[in-house]
Structure 1
């Protein structure tokens, strides 16, 4: 494609685009007749931007509040984990110090230790020692003493264990109370921060509503002043116009095409015009009377013609009825003749042809036996 063809194509496309834009401007009735209110559109755009700005600020405030809540919750979770770890460590240390397996009552069985070790056992003495006899117990005193000492140690250990457990329980309860107090304080702080954010949001919303109300009041005031000015101008125009001043000259048209008077300014006709209208009305009435007289004569002629036609139709109907009556009379005579002939024929059949009729016994003889 050459440069000339390219330039022609571009020129054609440019003309087509210009034509399309021109059609859009011409055939858009709203823009052509009403136009576009740029000030109103600008106000709407500014209002929308202000609303979006307030929404963005509110979203930022909510995001900061959420971040602060998340941080406080994380801190609370970390504190709870630390307290659990400390309690677990103290419990393990207490068990390792005061609840050892070696100090239990059955430690001698578990660790194979013998609590009572007499200097010489009964097996080592033998029967020749003359110290152990059947039924005797030479170690009874030492064994009872050792048992009593063992009981005292067990009671002492149990008492100490109970005291330590009571102490640690009180300590755990104290720590739990402190944790609850701290948690309550955190909740109070969080609620205070949340209330503060809510108050700030309410203040911002109230300021926005006040601004909107002030703007709306100003707009209503301007509209009212504009309407009052337009009403005053309309009243002044009506007072100074030809409609209320009633000037006869205002209704006269000076040349041009159309009626000779302006209908919106015409206040009435003169005596000459009224007399001319009356004369014309009288002529129209006389002409109408003549037309009515001619109509009455024409109606009378039509009535006489219709009466003559009615008489002819009645005479024709009478003739037709007479013919029908004669035809019915002839038909009756013919039917009577046929009836007499049929009666004579039936009598002949009954008297001469059907002379040997079967009796009732003839019909009852069939089916009377089994054969």
Structure 2
């Protein structure tokens, strides 16, 4: 149930040994017939007074709101910082926490920036691919238009488009491009016959 084989802390062992020595000294003074017959144990009383003074000093520095402290006791001073150590420790903890949060914020910002760069690169690649597709499509359309213009009836002046559906001797005026080489040769042949 009890752990008896636990190693005792060095400070605790020194404190126990000191108390035992003090007790032995006290007992030797008490049981010393010469000192006991004279009267009071001055050393023990001095030790008690020192102990009480130490208690008062410790007690006076606990808090300014202590009801045992009087105004004329010269123990409460204006501007005295009794919580200096605890305040410093709290400030150190707050600074450490702030640094930790700042580091986490920086890591979060870095991750966000990396993701944003990645998304921007992906969007840039997609936009470039889309532009490439649009450019290729426009180029293909332009080539088809040029091909239609070059090989179409407009620029080749195909007289067949001007023939009317009502007969071979009739033409559509807005599509007529002129006479065909055979028609020109027929007219020239007819003129030659007329000249004879």
**TM-score bucket of the superposed structures, by smaller chain:** 0.3 to 0.5
Please identify which structure carries the higher helix content: 1
Select the structure with the greater relative contact order (CA < 8 A; seq sep ≥ 6): 1
Q: TM-score, normalised by structure 1?
A: 0.26
